[in-house]
Structure 1
Amino acid sequence: MAQAAPTTGGMPRRGPTPDIFSPHTHVMARLAFPIVTGLIYGYWAAANRRSGAPVTGWNLLFGFVTALVFAVVLFGVLTIGPRLRREVHALMWTAFIGIAFGFLYSQSGESILRSTGMSLAVAAVTFIVMFYRFYTHEDAVGHRVR
């Protein structure tokens, strides 16, 4: 029976994956991601607020204002975050995710105490995950390790 000869070194090393998109595409994606995510978040908040009732003009206005605020803050987090140290960067994401989740949860009609508790739990998990991610993907100075 034929068998492949053993090799030394394991998997062959290839260079970094090629970037198949143009710089213009990357710029458009950086702008489109917060906008699309904001629209989804605004729709979700408006749907939670109306609780199955018919859509009204005030509900649409609430959804679009929520989407605008969410998109602007997300754009700020994505722009400013990478310039910060990993601890502060993780705290920024923690605050953003915790507040966003708490707001959505409060729109469903739950008490403010329960919304705060759930938001703090989600924020704690977010901090652990984000700090681990930034700690393992950056060196001590804050440069990304590839």
Structure 2
Amino acid sequence: MAHAAPRSRGPVERGGTTDLFSGRAHRAAKVAVPVLTGLVYGYWAAANRRDAGPVTGWNILFGFLTALAFALVFMALLALAPKLRREMHAMLWAAFSGIAVGFLVNQADGSVLWCTALGLVVAAGVFGVMFYHFYTHEDATGHRTD
């Protein structure tokens, strides 16, 4: 039978960080993650729009412009959203996710109603998850604890 390891009777210390990367790595990730995610999103949107047809210059341009727009909005959201209260923070992430999914479905020649419905379902799910996350990671005054 296993038993817990003994420890001293002093208070349990909190506040130790589990951060594995340096500040420089975090600053680089704030640019690299949106750019790489934007490139994947732009390729996906261009592939949906192409619909197994030939790759054209307009299709490549569309993919890069979509990637640029996605990355810029993603970076703006990463910079702006943490300064807001948890409700608006979750709402921004939900809107971003719902719009992104709706746009991808639209590029695959989905009907406007289907794109809207799927975007709203995704936005509702993301709002629920993000609100729960932010609600459980704030103290009573609204300051983040993580």
**Range class of TM-score, shorter chain:** 0.7 to 0.9
Equivalence for 1:63: 63
1:77-115 deviations in Å (ceiling 9; x for gaps):
111010000000001011100100100011011111111
1:25-58 deviations in Å (ceiling 9; x for gaps):
2111111111001001000000011011111100
Q: Quickly say closer, same or farther: Cα 1:18–1:127, change in 2 above 3 A.
A: closer
* Structure 1: runs of 5+ lacking an equivalent: none
Could you tell me how far apart the structure 1 residues matched to 2:80 and 2:2 are?
55
| 1:120 maps to amino acid | L
Equivalence for 1:31: 31
TM-score with structure 1 setting the length: 0.88
Could you tell me how far apart the structure 1 residues matched to 2:21 and 2:85 are?
29
* Structure 2: runs of 5+ lacking an equivalent: none
Q: Quickly say closer, same or farther: Cα 1:63–1:16, change in 2 above 3 A.
A: same
TM-score with structure 2 setting the length: 0.88
Could you tell me how far apart the structure 2 residues matched to 1:5 and 1:40 are?
46
Could you tell me how far apart the structure 2 residues matched to 1:4 and 1:129 are?
36
Q: Which moved more, 1:17-26 or 1:87-96?
A: 17-26
Measured after TM superposition, the shift of residue 20 of structure 1 is: 4.1
Q: Quickly say closer, same or farther: Cα 1:6–1:99, change in 2 above 3 A.
A: closer
Measured after TM superposition, the shift of residue 145 of structure 1 is: 1.6
Count of aligned residue pairs for this structure pair: 143
Q: What CA RMSD, in Å, does the superposition of the two structures yield over aligned residues?
A: 2.4
Please say if 1:114 is aligned against 2:125.
no
* Secondary structure of residue in 2 paired with 1:120: helix
- Percent sequence identity is 56
Equivalence for 1:104: 104
* Secondary structure of residue in 2 paired with 1:109: coil
Could you tell me how far apart the structure 1 residues matched to 2:26 and 2:54 are?
39
Measured after TM superposition, the shift of residue 16 of structure 1 is: 2.3
Could you tell me how far apart the structure 2 residues matched to 1:7 and 1:27 are?
40
Could you tell me how far apart the structure 2 residues matched to 1:86 and 1:145 are?
13
